[in-house]
Amino acid sequence: MVLESLVSVEKAEKNYKTMFFYGLLFVSVAILLSLWIFHDQSSMVMVFLVVIACVPLMYNTIKHEESIDINTAQERTLLREHTKVLKFLMFLFIGFIVAFSLWFTFLPEPTTETLFSTQLKTIGQINSKITGDAISSGVLIQIFLNNFKVLLFCIFFSFFYGAGAIFILTWNASVIGAAMGTFIREKLSYFGSYFAVIPIALLRYMTHGFFEILAYFIGGLAGGIISIAIIRHHTENKKFKTVLTDSMDLIILAVIILIIASLIEVYITPALF
């Protein structure tokens, strides 16, 4: 009851930058506990422990946003309110990524091979697939469809499980963290210091990743808002149409952001790195 009680929705909105440090804390505690208690299964247990710490905040956030939808008619006002939530969620997620990547970088290699075993297998599968499709003119479409599939998972997980999208997003953070940690270890000798290579690694993966994660959070928010509205019997309320309209607008916005992210991943990130 300690970690999940540290921050409320109101506190997170007011001090959204501090969510970065909560992200560091949640991941660090999860990693230490998973290595201590569930060592051989730690690669997935740490993800679940982070999710457990975040579920109350995510659920209360979605309830808060659904209440705003019910009581607000202006779409511009709704988007402004959603922006407050998205800001602290993005800082929380960046905290996850930084924590995962730092633990990967500084833990002994045998420990990271166990702690991130599932994540490293996933990265290997992604890299082999990208290498195989590199000469295909449809690589942009392939990347977008893969990202769109993750977006659908976030929407459906939030709809059926309320705060379920946080599992998909935490898993993604752990994979990105492992990829960043691998990059840092491989390029450390070239850049000469951690202070030089860590920012480069963050930019490499977040140039397009920032937009992807933002889209996933928006999709998860949309699915969760509809879910909470149904649970609270607001389908009988005339304002339920506002909830549906707002959720559809959020999903459309998420798709547009994913298109931008895919373009950046294919044409800009490779040119920079």
Q: Could you tell me which residues come within 8 angstroms of residue 206 by beta carbon, excluding any fewer than 6 positions away? A: 94, 97
pLDDT confidence of residue 227: 84
Q: Which of 67-76, 135-144, 259-268 has the weakest average pLDDT?
A: 67-76
When pLDDT is cut at 50, 70 and 90, the band that residue 84 belongs to is confident
Could you tell me what percent of the chain has a pLDDT over 70? 89
Report how far residue 115's alpha carbon sits from residue 120's, in angstroms, rounded to the nearest whole number.
Answer: 10
Q: Is pLDDT above 50 for 215? A: yes
Q: Which pLDDT score is estimated for 137?
A: 54
User: At a CB cut-off of 8 Å and minimum separation 6, what does 89 contact?
Assistant: 19, 61, 217
Q: Please report where in the chains the tokens 């990743």 appear, as a residue.
A: 209
Most confident of the ranges 14-28, 119-133, 137-151: 14-28
| Confidence tier at 235 by pLDDT (50, 70, 90) | low
State the Cα torsion 67-157-170-34 to the nearest 10°. Answer: 110
Is pLDDT at 202 greater than 70 in this prediction?
Answer: yes
- Give pTM, 2 decimals: 0.90
Distances in Å between the Cα of 81 and the Cα atoms of 57, 62, 130 are 16, 12, 38
